[in-house]
Amino acid sequence: MVLATDIVFRPMLHTDIDVGLQLCRLAGWDQTRRDWERFVAADHGTAHVALHEGRVVGTVATIRFGREFGWIGMVLVHPDVQGRGVGAVLLGHATAELADLGSIRLDATPAGHGLYQKHGFIDEYPLRRVEAVSATVPASNHSWIAPLTREGLLDVIALDRQVFGAPRAELLEWMYDGAPGFGFVARRDGEIAGYILGRHGHEFEHLGPIIASDANLAIELTTTCIAGVSGRPVVIDSTSEAEAWVRFLEQTGFREQRPYIRMSRGGQAPFGLERQQFAILGPEFG
């Protein structure tokens, strides 16, 4: 067992990103250097490395979504010290970082679910990462769906604030800047009804958030986006069990890669408008 007193924490530096990427690959995670740079930037989130006897053995990152809730992600432990309590120390550090907020949330893997339960986190709902090695869809031509522009981000940010349940304007802008070709917005009767964004991963193209007024619109947005990444492997972190949505994913060639459980400690669930969330940004970002 590694005691909390044996671990030294310090802010993650740009020079630590290579170590962070190594931990991601060892865990089979898909983050890129750009993702880590987002966490390292002090004005966006807080990433820390955990050192044991001078060696980096783990990472953890936190995000503050206004005063609504905090987020914990990137809990990574080197395989050499797994099962020795390092994960619990990382979680304790992260919850202490966010202790002034009324609620803390995260997406847990089944392996980490028990640890989070022991620290007072309760289940909100399940979600699953689905992947398609080569997703194919018919050509789409929906007049109410258009490529997202930077000017259009203002409407997306306003809708997202309601559906997600907290402000994250800078994060959505960062998403758009990284992969503007993945951004599409749907409008009906002049009002925004949904949107999709995406980002590039190490092995996969990640689609999400996907927010829509109903399953059919979520399908139309996703179809439009996939048409532009045809032939490349795609993952979606799906939250919805709507029959039409699940059937669409299966027919498009998506298969479950891994499950997650959204959990929270404190606050009043549900947060935001869950039924309009068809896919999340990602378990590291919320």
The CATH code of the domain that includes 49 is 3.40.630.30
Q: In this structure, is residue 116 part of a structural domain?
A: no
- For the chain, give the percent of residues with pLDDT over 90: 77
Domain membership of residue 265 (yes or no) is yes
Say how far apart CA 231 and CA 229 lie, in whole Å: 6
Can you give the residue range of the structural domain that contains 219? 130-279
CA distances from 40 to 11, 35, 49, 216, 259 (A): 8, 9, 11, 38, 27
* Residue 44 in this model has a pLDDT that exceeds 60: no
Confidence band of 52 (pLDDT split at 50, 70, 90): confident
- The pLDDT confidence band at residue 2, using thresholds 50, 70 and 90, is low
Please report, as a single letter, which amino acid is at residue 232: R
Averaged pLDDT score across all residues of the chain: 92
Query: Is 242 within the bounds of a domain?
Result: yes
Question: Residue 38: pLDDT above 90?
Answer: yes
Residue 112 lies in a domain: no
User: How many percent of the chain have pLDDT more than 70?
Assistant: 94
| Predicted confidence (pLDDT) per residue in 78-102, tens digit | 998 888 788 888 899 999 999 999 9
The pLDDT of residue 281 is 97
Q: Give pLDDT tens digits for 165-185.
A: 999 999 999 999 999 999 999
Same domain, 134 and 253: yes
Instruction: Write down the pLDDT at residue 197.
Output: 98
CA distances from 187 to 10, 102, 163, 180, 228 (A): 46, 35, 16, 18, 20
Query: Measuring CA to CA, which residue among 188, 179, 252 is closest to residue 196?
Result: 179
pLDDT tier, 3 (very low <50, low <70, confident <90, very high otherwise): low
Total count of domains within the chain = 2
- Digit-coded pLDDT (tens) for 121-132: 999 999 999 999
Domain co-membership, 189 together with 225: yes
* Alpha carbon distance 49, 58 (integer Å): 6
Task: Report yes or no on 223 lying in a domain.
Answer: yes
pLDDT, one tens digit per residue, over 190-209 is: 899 999 999 999 999 999 99
| Other residues' Cβ atoms within 10 Å of the Cβ of residue 35 | 28
Backbone angles phi, psi at 279, to 5 degrees: -155, 145
Separation between Cα atoms, residue 239 and residue 222, nearest integer Å:
14
Is 150 inside a domain boundary? Answer: yes
Residue 206 lies in a domain: yes
The residue count for the chain: 286
